[in-house]
Structure formats: structure tokens, C-alpha cells
Amino acid sequence: MKILYLFPHPDDESFGPGGIINQQIRQGHEVSLVTFTKGGATKMRHKLGLSIKEMGEVRHKEMKNVQHTLGIHHMTILDYEDGALSKINPLKLQEEAGKWIHYYNAEIVITYPIHGGSGHHDHIALHMAVKQLFYASRSDFSHWQRLAFFTLPDTGDPMFMEKGIPRVTWTKKDDIDVICQLEEEDIEAMKKALLCYETYQEMIETTNVIERIGNKTHFELADEYHPQVLSSLTQGIDIKV
């Protein structure tokens, strides 16, 4: 099948989905990736003494290494302002997303869920735009069969942390529709993809993303109900490998 990942930033594809991307490619699916920004506004640029533009170019190069490492078939890196997707007219984001869904003839589209994984406003803005496009204009995309949201199961910790600060709540167990079991080679591929982001190693270690993902990748599905949790993103739809 033709699978398209739509994310705001370089590293979003490796910060969790890297293992399942590797697995999907191994299984013979055609995987494409579009990021809406070059990710130049990351705070890591200050430690490196780089401007937003310079940092964006560094991350662009790192992401090209990820493409080679995972074997991603097609990749497009757009240049919207990093950290400002929530300020863009959502209709513009929908139009941009729709253009690439058409371009890559995507049958399965994957982006972030409503919580954005980290609460990042860019993640949430893109989620809303793609979801609205799916519900309002799905009939315009004869090839588009499924919209999925890459997620993590919620920890169940209290809603409010120290000093009353609310935490980001991930997806409730009952709202997870797909759990994909990763093989060891997929986990190793995710690790190698993360290593491509040489400028982001401190953040990778701080977030413990490899441990959080473990050997499973979780997804929500839009506008679908299944009595049992699915074991792959292609399960239950016509497979055209």
C-alpha cells in the first residue's frame, strides 16, 4: 500500500514511528514522508550558535540521512515557519496536506493525534487540519482509505503535576485502535534513525523515546470502529502492495 506520514518537523518521523516505518518498508509498502517545516526554531540552535535558517539546513541534511537509513521511498521537506503552524489559516494547511496526499496517491495517511504527542502547537495544528480534510473532503480522494494518528498509551498519572501544572495526556487505552508489534530489526532501525540527528542527541536521551516506544507502536484511527484491536495499519482494508 501507499503510506504517507505528514509531520510538522524533521525528527518527528524518527521520534517513535521509525520502527514501524522500517517494518512497513520491509513488508513491501511504499512509504512517503512530508514535513511542513525544516525545524530550524529548535532551542538546540542556541547551543550550536546557529540561526533558524542555518539550523533548518542542518536538520534538513540530518533528515536526508534518515531517509537513507530507513529506506523511505519519497520525502518532501517544506519550509513553513517552524513553531507557527497554529498561526496559519487552517484552510491553507488543509490545502497543502491535500496536495501531497494527491501527489503520493496515499491510501493510508498518518499524523499526530489531538494531544500532539508532546502538546506542541505545530503538532496539534496539523492534526486538526488533516482531520478536517479527511472528514470534509474524503470523497475527493478516491485512493485515501484510512487516517491514523501515531500515539502513545496514557500513563494514567494524575492530570496535574507538581505546583498544579497540567501534563499532556496521551491516548486512553480504549481509544487505541492499532498496536503493531516491532521486530528487533525494526527497533534497531529506529535507533539508527535517531542517531542521524546528531544535533538532537541530548533531547533523545532526555525524553527516553526508545524506552517509551519499546517493541510496540500504537495508533488511533479516524471514523473507524473495530471490536478488536488491529495488529497492523493495513489490516481490514484492501492491500495493493
Residue 56 lies in a domain: yes
Residue 182 lies in a domain: yes
Please state the domain count of the chain.
1
Identify the band that residue 43 occupies on the pLDDT scale cut at 50, 70 and 90. Answer: confident
- Nearest Cα to 221, choosing from 117, 143, 149, 141? 149
Please write the tens of the pLDDT for every residue from 20-33: 999 999 999 999 99
Q: What is the CATH number of the domain that holds 117?
A: 3.40.50.10320
- pLDDT, the chain, mean: 94
Residue 240 lies in a domain: no
CA dist., res. 151 & res. 171, Å (int): 7
Please write the tens of the pLDDT for every residue from 149-196: 999 999 999 999 888 999 999 999 999 999 999 999 999 999 999 999
Q: Are 80 and 239 a contacting pair, CB within 8 Å?
A: no
Identify the band that residue 135 occupies on the pLDDT scale cut at 50, 70 and 90. Answer: very high
CA dist., res. 3 & res. 21, Å (int): 9
Residue 236 lies in a domain: no
Q: What angle do CA 59, 214, 156 make, to 5 degrees?
A: 105
Please write the tens of the pLDDT for every residue from 51-85: 999 999 999 999 999 999 999 999 999 999 999 99
Residue 229 lies in a domain: no
Residue 35 lies in a domain: yes
Cell output for 173: 487505552
Instruction: Provide the domain limits for residue 29.
Output: 2-221
- Nearest Cα to 90, choosing from 56, 136, 52, 53? 136
Q: Are 38 and 56 a contacting pair, CB within 8 Å?
A: yes
Strands 146-151 and 216-221: antiparallel
**Which of helix, strand or coil describes residue 224?**
coil
Quote the pLDDT of residue 3. Answer: 99
Residue position matching grid coordinates 485502535? 177
- Nearest Cα to 46, choosing from 202, 196, 191? 202
Cell output for 218: 500504537
When pLDDT is averaged across residues 198-225 and rounded to a whole number, the result is: 90
Residue 215 lies in a domain: yes
Residue 33 lies in a domain: yes
